[in-house]
Amino acid sequence: MASESSEAEYPTGPTHPLSSPVPPTSPVGSAFLVVPTLPPAYMSHRNSSENFSIFPSDASSTTATGYSTPISTEYKGLLGKDAYRNYTKTETGGVASYSVVTLARKDDIEHMAIWKQRLYKATPFITVCILAANIVYLFLRVRFTLDAQRHDKEIFYMAWVFIAVELGVVSPMVMHQFWSLFIIKSRVRQKLRLLGPEVPSVDVVVTCCGEDHDVILDTLRAAADVDYPTDRFKVILLDDGHDSALETAVTHLKERIPNLYYRSREKIPGVPHNFKAGNLNYALEETANMKAGTYFAALDADMIPEKDWLRAIIAPLIVDDRLALVCPPQVCVSYSIPLILNCLT
C-alpha cells in the first residue's frame, strides 16, 4: 500500500544541492554545454573527453568543480549556431519550448573506439569475403569428391552424406551473411543534450524486491543527484517486497530529498501480479494519481545513473516525435567504486 498521500505533486524549491547549476537557455551563437561531472574515482575509468561541465566552446580546457578536462576535438568542431535547436512541444500544461544541443555526430563516440567504428564500416566487405569463402569451399568439396570417385571408379556415398550435412549447416549461415549486407548501414544518431532550466517533467521509478538496502538507497541518492531541476522530476521507489525497514529508511532519506517517494502495491493471493512488469504497470497507474510527468523513466535497484542521464535520454524524444522509447547503454563497473558523494549519507 502507498505510504503517502496520492495527491503528491512535484515539489517546489531550488535545485538539489548536489546537482550542477543549470544555466539559462543559451542564445544562438553562444556555446555552453551541460554534461556530467563525476568524482575522480570514476573519471579514471572513462574517456576524459566525456567529462565536461559548463564551459565556453572556444576554451581549450575548463575546471568543473575542481576537475580539469580537455575539450574533445569532435565536440569542438560541431559547436556554434548550427549545433543548437529550439523545439516547441504541446503538453498537458500547454505549449513549452526546449533547447537541444548536438554534442557529436554519433551518440556512441565514448563507447566505440575508432578501430571498432572502422571495423564496423568494413563489415560489408568482410561479409562478402565470408560468403565467397563458403562458396569456394563447397565448390572444391564437391569437385574433389568427384575427382576421387573417377580415380577409384566407385561412388563414395558417405562423402555425399557429409556434403549434404555441410550444406544444411552452411546454408543458414550463408543466408544470414547475405541478409547482413542489406541491414548494415551507417549510424545516424547524433549525441544530443537538453539544455537550460526549461525541461519537461519526468517520473523516475526504481523497482526493487528484496535487494540489499544499501544498494537501493545508493540508487535513490544517485537518481536524485542529477543535473535536472528538482521541481521537474520525482524519484519513486516501487517496493515489491513490502519491506517496512526499507520504507522507514526512505522516509528518513526524504527529509534530504523532497522529491523522493515510496510506493508498494497490494498483492492479492491467487491473483497474478506479473512480477516486475506488474510493478511497472502499477507505477503508471500510481503516477497518474500523483500528477504524472510528461515522461516516464525506469531504473533497476542496482543502477547508478550519470548526472546528465535525463538530459541525454529526453533530448532524442523531443527532437523526434516518432520515438516512443529510448534505452541508454549500460557500463558495468565494480560496485566498490564511489560513484555517490557522501553528502546524503
Give me the CATH number covering residue 85: 3.90.550
* Grid cell locating 299: 531504473
Q: What is the mean predicted confidence (pLDDT) over 64-88?
A: 48
Q: What dihedral do alpha carbons 57, 62, 68, 71 form, nearest 10°? A: 10
Residue that finishes a domain, picked among 183, 201, 219 = 183
Give the type of residue at 170.
Answer: V
* Grid cell locating 297: 523513466
For residues 243 and 250, the answer to whether their CB atoms sit within 8 Å is: no
Q: What dihedral do alpha carbons 267, 269, 272, 274 form, nearest 10°? A: 40
Q: Kindly state whether residues 220 and 84 are assigned to the same domain.
A: yes
159 in a domain, yes or no?
A: yes
Q: Kindly state whether residues 145 and 229 are assigned to the same domain.
A: no
Q: Kindly state whether residues 173 and 220 are assigned to the same domain.
A: no
- pLDDT at residue number 188: 73
Q: Kindly state whether residues 120 and 215 are assigned to the same domain.
A: no
Q: How many folded domains does the chain comprise? A: 2
Quote the Cα angle for 193-195-196, to 5°. 160
32 in a domain, yes or no?
A: no
- pLDDT at residue number 335: 60
- pLDDT at residue number 115: 84
Higher pLDDT, 5 or 223: 223
- Nearest alpha carbon to residue 190 among 341, 52, 78, 73: 78
The count of other CB atoms within 10 Å of the CB of residue 197 is: 15
Domain that holds residue 280: 40-108+190-344
- pLDDT at residue number 50: 32
Q: What is the mean predicted confidence (pLDDT) over 177-198?
A: 80
Q: Kindly state whether residues 195 and 303 are assigned to the same domain.
A: yes
149 in a domain, yes or no?
A: yes
20 in a domain, yes or no?
A: no
Residue 273 clears pLDDT 70, i.e. is over it: yes
Note the pTM of the prediction, 2 decimals. Answer: 0.62
334 in a domain, yes or no?
A: yes
Q: Kindly state whether residues 160 and 210 are assigned to the same domain.
A: no
Q: How confident is the model at residue 37 (pLDDT cuts 50, 70, 90)?
A: very low
Of the listed ranges 25-29, 230-234, 243-247, 269-273, the least confidently predicted one is: 25-29
Residue 229 clears pLDDT 90, i.e. is over it: yes
Of the listed ranges 8-17, 44-53, 84-93, 170-179, the least confidently predicted one is: 44-53
